[in-house]
Amino acid sequence: MLHLLLAVFFGAALANDGWIAVERGVYINYDLENSPLQIKTGSVVGSYEKESVLFRTAHDDHAGDVSLFFTSPPQYRLDYCSTSWTNLPTVLPTETNKVWTITLSRFSAPECTGLKTEWTSTIETTTQFPVLPGTVVTVTCLDSDAVNVGSSEVTCTKETDYTFSIEPSCSTPGLLIHALKTSTCYCYSLGSPVHNNSSDSKYDFFILTNEES
């Protein structure tokens, strides 16, 4: 069973005329597995009000959300399916109060089945696979003495594909060279900075290496 967190942004709860009144941040238990959910909105097109239904599992994990944006034309967004707003494909009724029906449909999602093959020799995770797309996976170095110089969290896309800000990569601490498009290079060995002059200003990265210079 899913817990529904009904959040109405820039709007007020509708009068109780047989409907369950919305309270900001309050969970409503609802069995979306067996019954479609209906919500009632009182926003008008062009008001730029937003109304959202946030879904959470019985274990209080985020399970997506449905958001409506009453622009002109009105737009919607489905969490885990899109990151941008999309125009509604139909013209809305002219009545102010509108009833929306949300139905849960099951389909086979391209789950992540493990880490990328090129990571497995140096990187591990405690995550139990398979996981659904959008799941954040925490990764660490297999070698306890190594340092992950990339992202410690990656997001499942499908199979063994992930998105990340910097690709995870493990290196053994040693000499850290940090050059930031400058004519001066600062080298750090065992936590002590050593100033070295350099005429090369093309670098924009850092390197971990065990070599001494």
- The answer to whether residues 98 and 33 belong to one domain is yes
- The answer to whether residues 164 and 83 belong to one domain is no
What are the residues facing 7 on neighbouring strands? Answer: 52
User: What is the residue whose two structure tokens read 């529904």?
Assistant: 4
Are residues 141 and 121 in contact, defined by beta-carbon separation less than 8 angstroms?
no
- The answer to whether residues 69 and 14 belong to one domain is yes
Higher pLDDT, 184 or 73: 73
- The answer to whether residues 54 and 142 belong to one domain is no
Structural domain contains residue 108:
no
- pLDDT of amino acid 143: 93
How many structural domains are present in the chain? 3
- The answer to whether residues 195 and 121 belong to one domain is no
- The answer to whether residues 97 and 125 belong to one domain is no
40 lies in which domain range? 2-102
- The answer to whether residues 164 and 183 belong to one domain is no
Cα Rg, the chain, nearest whole Å:
25
- pLDDT of amino acid 124: 96
Largest interatomic CA distance in the chain: 77
| Selection from 176, 178, 179, 204 nearest residue 188 by Cα | 176
- The answer to whether residues 163 and 189 belong to one domain is no
Phi, psi of 177, rounded to the nearest 5 degrees: -110, 125
Structural domain contains residue 38:
yes
- The answer to whether residues 11 and 78 belong to one domain is yes
Residue 155 pLDDT exceeds 80: yes
What's the chain's average pLDDT?
76
- The answer to whether residues 91 and 37 belong to one domain is yes
Phi, psi of 155, rounded to the nearest 5 degrees: -110, 125
To the question of pTM greater than 0.95 for the whole model, the response is no
Banded model confidence at residue 70, pLDDT cuts 50, 70, 90: very high
Structural domain contains residue 45:
yes
- The answer to whether residues 195 and 140 belong to one domain is no
